[in-house]
Amino acid sequence: MIFLDNFVIPSGTEHAALLNILQVLTLLIFLPFTGMVLGGSILSVYFNGKGIKESKPLYTRFAKDIMDRILVKRSAGLAFGVLPVATLTIIYAQFLMNAKIITVNFLAFSTLYYFAAIIFLLRYKNSFLKVIPHSKFLVTLRLARKEEGEEENEESIIPSLSGYAYFGLVALLVGLFLFVCGATIVAEPSRWNTSGILKSVFSLPVWMNYIYLILASCAIAGSAILYFFFVWQGGIKDMSEDYSRLVKKTVVPFTLVSSVLLPVFLFGGIILMPASSMSSSVYLYVVFAFISILLASNLLYGILKNSEMQFAGAVFFIMFLIFTFTIVKDQLVLGNSVREHLYAINQKAEEYDRQKEALVMTSTGVSAEQIYNQKCIACHKFDVKLVGPPYKETVPKYNGDVKKLSEFIFNPVKINPDYPSMPNQGLKKKEAEAMAQWLMEKVNH
């Protein structure tokens, strides 16, 4: 993104460290949240379809409850899903300034897809009860019943026929893919110049990371559902036996299988990384992530066998840990692979700072004052005659013509017969100009 290159500032070392922390924090919000939305939407869309096909209201209610729990509000969707990718795009633009790499473009486009995805999925979430024409009647009925204080029951919810669900899912999957493309090719500097969208589509590391992320999304969404349905604030209150059995029977295996498959892609991704991006701390975090996956799988197995729902909270928490370790690992990989590039940027930052200092010197006249103290003060004061005439008498003659005055200072000529000639002070053109400017300002105030 050339236009982003124009407004980012080359970052010095401390600045880069700060950006790194910001990046980790942003990812920590973004990835688990998007994961929950993705995994939850997959489950919800699946059960909504099943509800229509088998006309079982229980499935429909499950589909709706999932959306209600994972996508609470539009503002939350935008704050946790879209804003972070936009932030990440700018951070990457900063890191990768001037690198011939397509990452920033990938991220910018993935931001757009996320935005669309969140909007579509919110539409889907709100489309239960609304889409079928005769639903109006039922809605009234349901509201009427509710007013009488009766519990909302399964029969009153109508399956969503909204196509937005599929748009939303596709947009989310594409957005995530672009995100992974961008974040993965950064780790291979040797291919920066050649990596385009097509190369990424056929790149094995990209797919390893992508599938890993999708599985992790399913795992965290599954554990979030278990947690919100059964544990948080006592779980869902009016859950019938059937409903609770349905959720356990489907979500627990879904979550378990997703987590058990995670290590394959975790290690697969590591094996495919170039050696230059690896370090011992990367391996350490891979091990941390692996141990957490084992732990979560173990607890999930306990839930599956003995229906021990009290573990749901722990599993949900461990899923966050898995995300955290993965993000820190990826960050270390990124750090290793862009080290040289960052060094170049730091050099640039220093040069930039120097340029800025030079600019400040001339425009504020710091150097002019020094020159006056070193070279002119012996013969000139502002209002007293010394060897040369006082500036207050001579400078106003120039009427603000900096150029003319600077020419005199640069190369003095004989002017006033009452004075001797002024010897050439050997200033540079730039210095003479700064001097003239400074004198004019001083005399005018």
Binding residues for ligand HEC, rule: CB under 6 A, are: 371, 375-376, 378-380, 387-389, 394-395, 397, 408-409, 414-416, 419-423, 425, 427, 435
CB of 358 to ligand HEC, least distance (A): 20
Three-state DSSP class for 13? helix
Q: What is the Cα gyration radius of the chain?
A: 34
CB of 403 to ligand HEC, least distance (A): 13
CB of 25 to ligand HEC, least distance (A): 54
CB of 2 to ligand HEC, least distance (A): 45
CB of 98 to ligand HEC, least distance (A): 41
CA dist 120 and 125 (Å) reads 9
Which of 100, 445 has the CB closer to ligand HEC? 445
Which of 224, 422 has the CB closer to ligand HEC? 422
Which of 23, 394 has the CB closer to ligand HEC? 394
Q: Which of 260, 217, 297 is nearest to 32 (CA)?
A: 217
CA separation, residue 74 to residues 77, 126, 176, 351, 375 (Å): 5, 11, 19, 45, 68
For 83-106, b where at least 16 C-beta lie within 10 A, e where not — what string? bbbbbbbbbbbbbbbebebbbbbb
Written as six digits, the tokens of 287 are 């091990």
Written as six digits, the tokens of 329 are 């690992």
CA separation, residue 79 to residues 71, 83, 93, 386 (Å): 12, 5, 21, 70
Which of 163, 396 has the CB closer to ligand HEC? 396
* Contact yes or no for 193/55 (Cβ under 8 A): no
DSSP code, position 389? P
CB of 360 to ligand HEC, least distance (A): 21
CA dist 59 and 103 (Å) reads 41
CA atoms within 13 A on the CB side of 199: 14
Which of 237, 414 has the CB closer to ligand HEC? 414
Which of 97, 368 has the CB closer to ligand HEC? 368
Which of 319, 427 has the CB closer to ligand HEC? 427
CB of 359 to ligand HEC, least distance (A): 22
CA dist 71 and 77 (Å) reads 7
CA atoms within 13 A on the CB side of 9: 12
CB of 79 to ligand HEC, least distance (A): 60
* Contact yes or no for 271/209 (Cβ under 8 A): no
Which of 356, 397 has the CB closer to ligand HEC? 397
Which of 267, 408 has the CB closer to ligand HEC? 408
Helix extents (H) in 307-428 = 312-337, 339-364, 366-371, 391-394, 402-410
CB of 365 to ligand HEC, least distance (A): 12
Helix extents (H) in 163-308 = 164-185, 197-201, 204-226, 241-272, 280-306
